[in-house]
Structures are given as C-alpha cells and as structure tokens.
C-alpha cells in the first residue's frame, strides 16, 4: 500500500486508506513482540508453508519472513508519518532499532539467513520467504559490507537447494531476486524456464509443471505418464512474470533507481518507455550495442530522483529547459521540478 503511494504520490489514499491500515497491521505485531533483554523478538512466527506437512514444527522464533515484514512496515510508517505531518508512534522507531533485521545461522564456515531460529533452508521450497528482505521488502542494502557476505552465503545455499520443490508462481520471484542482485542472465533464464515449463499450450499459467524432470510439483511420473488431475491454473505467475520483466529493466533498491540492472549482457538492443517508478517519475531508456544511449525522466510532481549512474562514475549531464547541470558519482541525487522532463546523458 505504501509502495502504491510512492508510485502515485496520492496523498489522499495514503491518509485515508493506507496509513490507518498500516498502523493497524503494526498493532498486531506490537502485540506479538516480546522483550528479549534489550532487544525485541517474535516468539511465535511462521515462514509460509515451511514444515507445513509432516511431523516437524511449522513455527519458530524470529522467522525471517516476518522480521522483514515488520522492518519494512516500520520504515514505511515512519516515512508516511512525515509525509502526512503526523507524529509517528514512538514504538515504531524502537522496534526498528531493537528488533533484529534477520535471524542468522553460522555453520560450515559461513553465516546465512535462517528460516527461523535454529532452522535453515534444509530443502528446496517454493516460498523464498527467508529472502524477502531482498525482494520484495528491500530492507537489506546489498552493497553494505556488513551484509554482503551474509547475503552471498544465503543466496548460494538457496541455489544449492535448487528447484526440485518449486511451483510455477514462485519462479518469477526467483527472477526478481536475481535482478535485484544484478544477475541479469539468471533473471532472464528463470523467466524462460517458467514460460517453457509452467505454462500450457495456450500460455495459461500453471501451478504444477506440465513436463517432468525439473520439479516434483508434477502430477505424473518421471517418465511422463499422463497426469489424471486437471490443470491448476493461477494468475499469480502471469502477473509476477510481467512484473519480473519490468524489474529487469528498471527497479529501485533503497530508493535508488537502477536502469537495466537485471538485463543480461546479450540484450544488446533494448528499450522501454514511460515506466513509472518510485516518486511517480516516468522513465524511458534505450540501450544500443550494450550501452545506455538515451535516458529521460518525466517528473509530474517534482522531487529528488535517485539514480544509479548507468555509466559508472562518469559525469552525467542533466538537461531541462535548455539548461544543463553536471553530476558525478555512482549514485546521483537529481532535483526535479513538477511538470518538467529531463534528458540524461554522459557529460
């Protein structure tokens, strides 16, 4: 709901609909959290459908999926309070400060993100919920040295477990995780796998694979015996696949816009037009021969446009109303005026 506000800057929606709902959702977590020394913990929590079948306990302390939910919600509530000119509840900042961002496990020479306290990703699983702090909640800065090795180890262990218990809707999620980590080839490949394996001849999106060999979410046997079940149709994956393509072309991390960060190197010629992003900006960009050649930003409401410089540290010229300003650095903060269009190019 807050992301919808950020993409539209619809303050009435934020004030009348989103903010009361968000605050109410946080009240639930406030009631669930307990003091753990000088910190908070979530004593009973779940990671979607993990250990849902069988004799193993389906819940534990500090499930990473819910820690990511809480941190994202607390951040958004504090930002929304500033937008609306209201005083945030003091416990939101306290929760953000004293609730761990992640529940970690150290073994085999590395530290990685757990499912919940004492339980790591033990097998392939269709919910990539323990990685939700990367995507969609974006609470980790992957460039932060204090988190880099932890996230690296977590992603490697996730890849090691593989796709053998994945269902169709979760594959575009995999693509988006790869995009947000700058792995364009993997992001593209996962969407190709999804289209080949998890859509039928009419391109309807399926929960179970329609071919054997990739995942056990296939109704027939390994040698392709007919599946007596009816197809399980879902719109989740189709919507997610469209979003995953957009994330390849343009996405935000920590408020910064990344252009073509999830696009494979072999996409030498690629462009998009008028894609909406955080701050209600409309962005258009073209890449030719593997290099960004055209980049424009329309600013309906004004504000600071944060951009990961697609040309590295090379200076960037920003032109509007015939005037050009020059910016330098890896991440650029470009002030914009409402109703103006800005052309960005190497200076």
| Domain spans, the chain | 1-162, 163-254, 270-346
**Tens-digit pLDDT profile for residues 86-140:** 999 999 999 999 999 999 999 888 899 999 999 999 999 999 999 999 999 999 9
What is the pLDDT at residue 72?
98
Averaged pLDDT for residues 36-62: 91
Question: Could you tell me which residues come within 8 angstroms of residue 228 by beta carbon, excluding any fewer than 6 positions away?
Answer: 219
C-alpha 91/C-alpha 294 separation (Å) is: 46
The pLDDT confidence band at residue 194, using thresholds 50, 70 and 90, is very high
DSSP characters over 107-176: ETTEEEE-SBTTB---S--S--GGGTTTTTS--S-TT-HHHHHHHHHHHHHHHHH-STT--GGGHHHHHH
Q: Is the pLDDT of residue 169 over 80?
A: yes
CA contacts within 13 A on the Cβ side of 220? 15
Please provide the size of the chain in residues: 347
C-alpha 222/C-alpha 211 separation (Å) is: 9
The pLDDT confidence band at residue 313, using thresholds 50, 70 and 90, is confident
106 burial type by CB count under 10 A (0-12 exposed, 13-18 middle, 19+ buried): exposed
What is the pLDDT at residue 171?
98
**Tens-digit pLDDT profile for residues 65-89:** 999 999 999 999 999 999 999 999 9
What is the pLDDT at residue 165?
95
pTM above 0.85? yes
Torsion sign across C-alpha atoms 180, 248, 8, 66: negative
263: alpha, beta or left? (left if phi > 0; alpha if psi -120 to 50): beta
Q: Is the pLDDT of residue 229 over 70?
A: no
Residue 284 pairs in a beta bridge with: 296
Q: Which CATH superfamily is domain 270-346 in?
A: Golgi alpha-mannosidase II (2.60.40.1180)
Evaluate whether 248 touches 262 at the Cβ level (below 8 Å): yes
CB count within 10 Å of CB 337 equals 12
Torsion sign across C-alpha atoms 137, 143, 149, 153: positive
């Amino acid at each position: 709901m807050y992301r919808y506000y950020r993409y539209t800057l619809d303050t009435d929606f934020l004030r009348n609909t989103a903010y009361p709902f968000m605050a109410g959702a946080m009240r639930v977590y406030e009631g669930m959290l307990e003091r753990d020394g000088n910190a908070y913990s979530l004593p009973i929590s779940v990671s979607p459908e993990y250990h849902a079948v069988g004799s193993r306990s389906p819940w534990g302390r500090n499930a990473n999926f819910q820690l990511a939910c809480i941190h994202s919600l607390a951040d958004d509530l504090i930002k929304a309070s500033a937008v609306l000119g209201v005083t945030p509840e003091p416990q939101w900042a306290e929760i953000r400060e004293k609730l761990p961002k992640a529940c970690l496990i150290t073994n085999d020479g590395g530290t990685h993100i757990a499912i919940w306290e004492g339980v790591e990703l033990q097998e392939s699983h269709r919910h990539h919920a323990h990685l939700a702090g990367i995507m969609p909640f974006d609470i980790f800065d992957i460039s932060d040295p204090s988190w880099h090795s932890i996230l690296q180890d977590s992603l490697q262990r996730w890849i090691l477990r593989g796709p053998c218990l994945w269902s169709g809707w979760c594959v575009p999620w995999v693509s988006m995780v790869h995009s947000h980590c700058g792995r364009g080839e993997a992001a593209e490949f996962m969407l190709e796998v999804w289209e080949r394996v998890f859509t039928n001849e009419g391109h309807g999106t399926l929960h179970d694979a329609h071919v054997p060999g990739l995942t056990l979410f296939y109704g027939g046997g390994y040698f392709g015996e007919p599946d007596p079940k009816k197809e399980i149709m879902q719109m989740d994956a189709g919507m997610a696949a469209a979003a995953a393509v957009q994330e390849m072309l343009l996405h935000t991390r920590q408020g910064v816009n990344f252009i073509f960060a999830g696009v494979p190197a072999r996409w030498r010629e690629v462009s998009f037009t008028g894609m909406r992003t955080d701050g209600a900006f409309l962005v258009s960009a073209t890449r030719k021969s593997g290099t960004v050649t055209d980049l424009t930003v329309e600013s309906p409401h004004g504000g600071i446009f944060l951009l990961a410089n697609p040309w590295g540290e090379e200076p960037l010229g920003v032109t509007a109303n015939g005037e050009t300003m020059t910016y330098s650095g890896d991440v650029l903060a470009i002030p914009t005026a409402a109703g103006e269009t800005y052309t960005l190019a190497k200076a």
